[in-house]
Structures are given as C-alpha cells and as structure tokens.
C-alpha cells in the first residue's frame, strides 16, 4: 500500500463520528465530552454537523438563524487563532442524546462516502496564515444562513451550509482542494443573494408602480 504523503492519515472524520456513538449513548450528551473526543478539531466537527440539516433546497426559518450565528461565532474563533477550544457557553451545554444519535447516523453515511475523496493537498490553504480564511468563510456562511430571507429564495440555507461544510471537512482532513471548493461556493452564495435581491427589488418597484 502506498504511503504517499498526499494521502490523509487514517482514521478519518467518519471514524471519529462512529466512536462518538459511545458518548451519545445516554439521554443527554455533554458538549464538553464531544469537544474532548474531537480533540483540536472540535470547532470544525461541530460546525460540519450543524450544517447537515440545511443541505436542502427549502430554507429552515428560525433554526437557521440560531445555527448560523453559532457557526459564525465558531468561525470567528478560528480567525483569531482560538479554534482549539469551544466557547464556555457552548461547551457547558447538553443536547438531546436521541436526536444527536440520529444526526450521527446520517452523518456517518455521508462522510463515509466522502472518505475516499480526501487527500492531503494544497496545504497552503489549511495552515496559517491562509488557513484562517476558513474561519472567514465560516463567518460569512453563518451570517448568510442567519439572514431572514423570504422562503421563495431557494437554497438560501443550502448553499451557504454546503460551502461551510466543505471548508470544515477540508480543514479537518487537511485537504486544501475541499477548502478551495468551499470558498468558491461561499462566494457564489453571496453573488446568488445579490442577484435575488436585484430581482426582488425590481419586482417590488414594478408592483409599486402599478399600485392605483
């Protein structure tokens, strides 16, 4: 078997998710235990898990605001070089074990399929100083998810969540190509929002002009 340095080390993120099932065995799961389990990758691991419910065309109003703000906060910690530890208010929380196990089950299926795609490449994008742009992307993606856009704007949650997910997976697996794709999707998200705003604004002006 090749030991090429471009290949990531085993085990991968999907393996860590599988092991996390033991932590989530009870009725409540302590976020501090998850932080310990994911070690220095806790912030990116939790962001990746938070993105999963939004990978769909239809927005999830309300929930996306709360999750988006948390994602933005965690991304900001990476920018300032404090990604090793979660903020205290988050690490002290407990979450529903049954719901978390359900999320873990779906996440394992998705990330297990992605495992063969990860390689250690474009390392410049996952180490400082450029690596901190992952945090910038998470902040922008979290803010985009939290925007109170009308439900008619499809993918208003899905696009930023997908971009943030790729950024975090790339950072976790040290795969700069995933990080690059995440940045591209994040940029495309804001261009899409700008185009939607122009269309909504034009339609509103047209309807206003026809008002008797």
Q: Using CB atoms within 10 Å of the CB of residue 178, give its burial: 0 to 12 exposed, 13 to 18 middle, 19+ buried.
A: buried
Grouping H, G, I as helix, E, B as strand and the rest as coil, residue 96 is: strand
Instruction: Report the SS3 class of residue 94.
Output: strand
Asked if residues 125 and 179 have their Cβ atoms less than 8 Å apart, the reply is yes
User: pLDDT grade, residue 6 (50/70/90)?
Assistant: very low
Cα 141 from Cα 122, distance rounded (Å): 22
For residue 17, the tally of other CB atoms under 10 A from its CB is: 23
Report pLDDT digits (tens) over 89-136. Answer: 777 888 887 888 888 888 888 888 888 889 899 999 998 888 899 999
Name which of 106-110, 179-183, 187-191 the model is least confident about. Answer: 106-110
Least confident of 28-42, 138-152, 169-183: 28-42
What is the average pLDDT across 25-54?
A: 81
Give the model's pLDDT for residue 116: 85
Instruction: Determine what percent of the chain is predicted with pLDDT higher than 90.
Output: 26
38, 14 in Cβ contact below 8 A? no
Q: Over the stretch 156-174, which tens digit does the pLDDT of each residue have?
A: 899 999 999 999 999 988 9
Question: What's 208's DSSP letter?
Answer: H
Question: How far is residue 125 from each of residues 73, 138, 178, 195, measured CA to CA in Å?
Answer: 21, 14, 10, 29
Structure tokens at 60: 């999830």
pLDDT at 51 over 80: yes
Which residues fall within 8 angstroms of residue 177, CB to CB, at 6 or more apart?
119, 121, 122, 170
Is 139:184 a contact under the CB 8 Å cutoff?
A: no
Cβ proximity of 190 and 25 under 8 Å: no
Q: Is the pLDDT of residue 5 over 60?
A: no
Structure tokens at 81: 């070089």
Which of 12-16, 30-34, 106-110, 159-163 is predicted least confidently? 12-16
Alpha carbon 108 to chain centroid, angstroms: 15
């Amino acid at each position: 078997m090749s030991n090429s340095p471009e290949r990531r080390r085993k085990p991968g993120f999907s393996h860590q998710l599988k092991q996390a099932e033991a932590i989530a065995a009870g009725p409540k799961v302590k976020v501090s235990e998850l932080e310990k389990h994911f070690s220095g990758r806790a912030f990116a691991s939790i962001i990746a898990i938070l993105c999963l419910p939004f990978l769909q065309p239809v927005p999830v109003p309300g929930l996306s605001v709360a999750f988006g703000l948390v994602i933005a906060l965690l991304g900001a910690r990476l920018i300032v070089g404090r990604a090793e530890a979660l903020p205290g208010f988050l690490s002290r929380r407990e979450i529903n074990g049954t719901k978390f196990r359900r999320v873990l089950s779906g996440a394992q299926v998705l990330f297990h399929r992605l495992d063969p795609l990860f390689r250690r490449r474009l390392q410049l994008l996952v180490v400082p100083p450029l690596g901190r742009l992952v945090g910038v992307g998470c902040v922008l993606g979290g803010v985009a998810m939290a925007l109170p856009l009308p439900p008619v704007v499809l993918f208003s949650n899905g696009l930023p969540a997908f971009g943030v997910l790729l950024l975090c997976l790339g950072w976790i697996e040290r795969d700069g190509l995933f990080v690059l794709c995440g940045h591209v999707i994040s940029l495309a998200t804001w261009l899409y929002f700008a185009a939607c705003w122009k269309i909504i604004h034009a339609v509103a002006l047209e309807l206003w002009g026809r008002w008797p």
